[in-house]
Structure 1
Amino acid sequence: MSVQIGAHTSIAGGAYNAVDEQVEIGGTCGQIFSHSPQVWQDPDIGDDEAAQFRERSADNGVGPWVIHSSYLVNLCTPKDDLRRKSIDSMQKEVDAAAKLGVEYVNVHLGAHTGAGVEQGLDNAASALDELDVPDDVTVLVESDAGSGTKLGGDFEHLAAVLERSDQALGVCVDTAHAFAAGYDLSTPEGVDETVAEFDDVVGLEHLHCLHLNDSKHGCGTNKDEHAHVGEGKIGEAGMRRIVNHPDLRELPFVLETPTEDGKSFAWNVERVRELRE
């Protein structure tokens, strides 16, 4: 099976433009925001726009797609107003996903901001349980770099939310986040150990997607800054093992790599294909 690799592309000018950009960079799967992720805003996707997105994705063999939720969403919060806004925002995201034919909505758990880890995890699970998720959409909780009171840095956090929620949730592991949280992915042995630990704690059957990013900072630093594939602290050996690991290689890999040093998504897509064995 050829590698499923793509990137986070823009819906500016119409959601279907994200498909065209994906094709231009050589991507076969991808991720989008349904609106600006830095403000509370409802997705505004018309019926014709959604139909064109679905048609162009099908015609070009691009999929699966992921909608990344707003950065403002905090499922772990103890604050009632922020919790309500987060739930409302997530409901609109899963509804937009159904309209676009997008399989996944990805969300960070957020920060407990002093409520404590266990209460934060309970808050996240109960918030997710308030969603009416369409049949063809799956919510993925994403691994985090683990700074401050943010949850999701430990695989145990992800497992707890999956166990406590009544929703049929999945997981998206971000390689840069996991590395920053202390899971050493810089060697083939480290990748194998991390995958085995994830399987033991969460279960590989729950892993639906990988955000494939290298890291500008070292393992366990809790610093979230992405690097080009093979050119960060994870490095070529770790990235090569990730994209070829038998339990990972058939998953969709979504890039959130920077555009710098003359290298863009297209460069990283090609780099992944070069590392594929």
Structure 2
Amino acid sequence: MKVGAHESIAGGVYNAVDAQIEDGGNCGQIFTHSPQVWQDPNIGDEEAERFRELSADHDVGPWVIHSSYLVNLCTPKDDLRSKSIDSMQKEVDAAATLDIPFVNVHLGAHTGAGVDAGLDNAASALDELDVPEGVTVLVESDAGSGTKLGGDFEHLAAVLDRTDQDLDVCLDTAHAFAAGYDLSTPEAVEETLAAFDDVVGLDHLQCVHLNDSKHECGTNKDEHAHIGEGLIGEAGMDAFVNHPAIEDVPLVLETPHEDGRGFAWNIERVKELRAASPAE
């Protein structure tokens, strides 16, 4: 099973590999810089080489780069669109440098332009990218608040259909739950993954952000909880991580650090749920 967490690159991107190993993970996600500001990745050649070597030596991967929170592919505003495309280009280039196969991005918000126009904007913005060979952009499912797009599986499918890029998808369990896709029972997990397969296609599912939710299904509230401790709960998380469609998909945790528990506790919890499955 590939399971890991979103690790810090403080002190050098290679430190994320050591942190992942310490937490018991064998895949993971990073930001290449602070996600709250417009900033270019600043990763030197030696630093990148050390990251690649450590990842290979310890068999940690795949890794995912999560794009800046400021990126808005759906925006109708020319300046923000230009900044978003530029930021994404630098992220996919950084991914190639680090031998990271995926760059994850939220579609963003249409801010009044309308759903169709927002989806068109996102697809055309992605078409502007020169994505290096070996790198794939993943569009992430969203919690769906306000004018943000990506909460409906149809939004993800529409962007995949409208762009010329070979895109895939990252499904965030807390976001999907917040957007109204129930995952709290084995039956609900089966129904939601069947809906995803019907609308998007499970062949496009290349990563899962595995998070429990502090809020009820359909509230559009995005706040993550420890695995099995939120409103998705143990039964839902158990059914999800043991579903055949998820068996080979990398699971990346973005769970909180609170109550004396962090990534290591949550990674171990996922391993316990998988190990307890009768199929195992």
Q: Report the Cα distance in structure 1 between the residues aligned to 2:272 and 2:203, rounded to whole angstroms.
A: 27
Once the 2 structures are TM-superposed, how far is the Cα of residue 131 of structure 1 from its aligned partner?
0.1
1:57 equivalent in structure 2: 55
2:143 equivalent in structure 1: 145
Q: Deviations over 1:229-248 (max 9, x none)?
A: 00000000000011100011
Q: Deviations over 1:63-86 (max 9, x none)?
A: 000000000000000000000000
Q: Report the Cα distance in structure 2 between the residues aligned to 1:119 and 1:173, rounded to whole angstroms.
A: 23
Aligned amino acid, residue 137 of structure 1: V
Aligned amino acid, residue 109 of structure 1: L
Instruction: List structure 1 runs of 4+ shifted beyond 2 angstroms.
Output: none
Q: Report the Cα distance in structure 1 between the residues aligned to 2:174 and 2:159, rounded to whole angstroms.
A: 21
Q: Report the Cα distance in structure 1 between the residues aligned to 2:120 and 2:185, rounded to whole angstroms.
A: 35
1:159 equivalent in structure 2: 157
Alignment equivalent of 1:253, drawn from 246, 251, 254: 251
TM value normalised by structure 2: 0.98
Once the 2 structures are TM-superposed, how far is the Cα of residue 265 of structure 1 from its aligned partner?
0.2
2:172 equivalent in structure 1: 174
5+ long unaligned stretches in structure 2: none
TM value normalised by structure 1: 0.99
2:6 equivalent in structure 1: 8
Aligned amino acid, residue 79 of structure 1: K
Q: Deviations over 1:84-126 (max 9, x none)?
A: 0000000000000000010100000000000000000000000
Q: Deviations over 1:205-253 (max 9, x none)?
A: 1010000000000000000000000000000000001110001121000
Q: Report the Cα distance in structure 1 between the residues aligned to 2:272 and 2:205, rounded to whole angstroms.
A: 24
Mapped pair 1:231 → 2:229: yes
Alignment equivalent of 2:111, drawn from 102, 113, 118: 113
Once the 2 structures are TM-superposed, how far is the Cα of residue 184 of structure 1 from its aligned partner?
0.3
Percent of counterpart pairs with the same letter? Answer: 79
Q: Deviations over 1:27-76 (max 9, x none)?
A: 00000000000000000000000000000000111000000000000000
Tell me how many residue pairs correspond in the alignment: 275
What RMSD in Å do the two structures reach over aligned CA positions? 0.3
Q: Report the Cα distance in structure 2 between the residues aligned to 1:243 and 1:170, rounded to whole angstroms.
A: 20
Q: Report the Cα distance in structure 2 between the residues aligned to 1:4 and 1:217, rounded to whole angstroms.
A: 27
Aligned amino acid, residue 53 of structure 1: F
Q: How does 1:143-222 map to 2 (within 5 A)?
A: 143-222=141-220
Conserved 8 A contact 1:75-1:87: yes
Q: Report the Cα distance in structure 2 between the residues aligned to 1:243 and 1:62, rounded to whole angstroms.
A: 20
Q: Report the Cα distance in structure 2 between the residues aligned to 1:102 and 1:250, rounded to whole angstroms.
A: 18
Conserved 8 A contact 1:242-1:249: no
Once the 2 structures are TM-superposed, how far is the Cα of residue 138 of structure 1 from its aligned partner?
0.3
2:241 equivalent in structure 1: 243
2:41 equivalent in structure 1: 43
1:66 equivalent in structure 2: 64
Conserved 8 A contact 1:4-1:251: yes
Aligned amino acid, residue 89 of structure 1: S
Q: Report the Cα distance in structure 1 between the residues aligned to 2:145 and 2:81, rounded to whole angstroms.
A: 20
